[in-house]
Amino acid sequence: MAFTSVITEPEPTRAEIDALPGPAVLEFGTPQCQFCRAAQPFVAAAFAGHALVHHIKVEDGSGRRLGRSFGVRLWPTLVFLRDGRELARLVRPAGEAVIVQALASLELVRK
């Protein structure tokens, strides 16, 4: 459930994401993206204290529907969801602290 460094295959559909129960984070990017690679230590460290948050790593790019449905333009983009509803978004996060803060806010929100 918690942090994963593996890209989810096949890419989930928007309907599957909208139906997710509880807290989740979509991480959009590509393995070739230098910004994505640089952010990985921050993302992994931030998730260390949030094992109950579902992390879904999605390869984005031309022809990828899920990223387009969320309006992703830059990588990495982290979309914070609760029960399939977007609550926050970080684009090219600058460090672990901003990710931890967004994760903590996800766990505070209830239905």
**Domain extent at residue 36:** 14-108
Domain-embedded: residue 67: yes
Domains in the chain, number: 1
Domain-embedded: residue 18: yes
Q: What is the spatial distance between Cα 80 and Cα 99, in angstroms, rounded to a whole number?
A: 10
76 by Cβ neighbours in 10 Å (0-12 / 13-18 / 19+) ranks as buried
Domain-embedded: residue 3: no
Domain-embedded: residue 8: no
Q: What is the pLDDT of residues 31-59, one digit of tens each?
A: 999 999 999 999 999 999 888 899 999 99
CATH number for the domain harbouring residue 42: 3.40.30.10
| Residue 102 confidence (pLDDT) above 90 | yes
Q: What is the pLDDT of residues 81-99, one digit of tens each?
A: 999 999 999 999 999 999 9
